A = this chain, B = another copy of it.
Amino acid sequence: MQIEPELCKVEDALGILVGKWKPIILLHLLKNGTQRFSELKRSLPGITQKMLTKQLRELEEEDIIQRVVYAQVPPKVEYSITEYGRGLEPILEAMHEWGTKHTLHKREMQRKASI
Residues of A within 8 A of B (CB): 1-3, 5, 8-14, 16-18, 23-24, 27-28, 31, 44-46, 62-63, 84, 87-88, 90-103, 105-106, 109
Q: What is the CB-to-nearest-CB distance from A3 to chain B, in angstroms, rounded to a whole number? A: 5
Known: A9-B103, A98-B88, A98-B91. A3 touches B18 (CB 8 A): no
Q: What is the CB-to-nearest-CB distance from A111 to chain B, in angstroms, rounded to a whole number? A: 13
Whether B13 and A95, one on each chain, are in contact in the complex, defined by CB atoms closer than 8 angstroms, is yes
Known: A63-B105, A87-B98. A18 touches B16 (CB 8 A): no
Q: Which residue of B lies closest to A93 (CB)?
A: B1
Q: What is the CB-to-nearest-CB distance from A82 to chain B, in angstroms, rounded to a whole number? A: 10
